[in-house]
Chains A and B, each alone.
Chain A
Amino acid sequence: MRKPEPGRGLVIEASCYQYAEDFIYVGAAAYQVNSKIMCCNAVGIFKSDTPGPVLGMEMQ
């Protein structure tokens, strides 16, 4: 949506909005530090119970 300014960091907010069967639905958005203007957003669908590192978070 907007080009982030070079030299400034990004804050990423992500949340899981649905956990159905083996699939985890996640939405995320990126903002510049100290700004409420969104630079971009994303939606991802992850499959749970696949081999991988333990992330230390249990989902209900």
Chain B
Amino acid sequence: MINQKLIDFLEETPYACNYGTEIITSMPETECVTRWQNIFTGNPLLRAWHGGVVSGVLELTGTLAVINSAKTKECVLLSINTSYLRPALGDKSLFSRATVVRSGKRVHTVSAVVWQNSPDEPTAMASLTFAGK
């Protein structure tokens, strides 16, 4: 079952629409899939996803996790620390999962990961902090 607020957020946010990210599930954790588009190419020689897009998918999934857990629609990214672990190969989808580590009164700490073949082989991971209202 998917939280309707998350679907609304994806449909109402222009930059999220550009990614074409779809929610797989929002319980117990937020999981999404982002399908490959040629405009995501970062390195034409490797035909790999651009790191900025990968980071954007991590941030978007983290935002959805905060909205889902904090019951708020307003959250602002304060910081993101992304580690690129493997090349994200083109023509393949990116799966993402975000977990709210701690939700305080004003600050939410989130952990997010993306993978292609298996969650055991993560492509990148990120630690994020959001300010929520």
Contacts and interface: CB of A to CB of B under 8 A. Distances in A.
Interface residues of A, number: 4
Contacts of B45: 51-53
A36 interface: no
Q: Is the interface of B mostly helix, strand, loop or mixed?
A: loop
The number of chain B residues touching the other chain, given as a range, is under 10
A52 B76 CA distance: 34
Interface in A40-60: 51-53
Contacts of B46: 51-52
Interface in A1-36: 3
Interface in B39-68: 43-46
Nearest to B78: A1
Interface of B: 43-46, 76
